[in-house]
């Protein structure tokens, strides 16, 4: 295969059925964590085509287990962070009410 036909083949693989350059995205599903694919850049719109092509080979089962475990751990840590932010906000509200009631008490009594 000469250089020009190889370049043409690569270019053809990048063009989706809409005639546009396809977008490279990363899958974060349980079956394909971190696996890159190419798809129509208009995905989700009524005028999108159904172009789809994997860039990476299927992940090894061990890789899938490790990545999915790390993703679950990251999601759980995110939940802890969100709970802590809510607690801090609640604490700030309670302290604000306490200070406000002390000021009111001082002026009323």
pLDDT at 20: 86
Angle, CA 70 vertex, CA 43 and CA 72 arms, to 5° = 70
Q: Which two tokens stand for residue 95?
A: 């302290």
User: How many alpha carbons fall within 13 Å on the CB side of residue 74?
Assistant: 6
pLDDT per residue as tens digits for the range 68-81: 888 888 877 777 77
44: left (phi over 0), alpha (psi -120 to 50) or beta: left
pLDDT at 74: 81
pLDDT per residue as tens digits for the range 26-64: 998 999 998 999 999 888 888 889 899 999 999 889 889
pTM of the full predicted structure?
Answer: 0.57
């Amino acid at each position: 295969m000469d250089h020009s036909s190889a370049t043409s083949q690569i270019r053809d693989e990048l063009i989706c059925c809409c005639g546009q350059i396809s977008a490279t995205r990363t899958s974060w599903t349980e079956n394909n964590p971190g696996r890159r694919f190419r798809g129509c850049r208009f995905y989700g719109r009524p005028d999108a085509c159904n172009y789809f092509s994997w860039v990476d080979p299927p992940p090894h089962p061990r890789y899938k287990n490790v990545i999915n475990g790390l993703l679950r751990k990251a999601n759980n840590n995110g939940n802890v962070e969100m709970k802590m932010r809510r607690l801090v906000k609640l604490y700030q509200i309670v302290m604000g009410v306490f200070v406000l009631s002390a000021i009111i008490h001082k002026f009323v009594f």
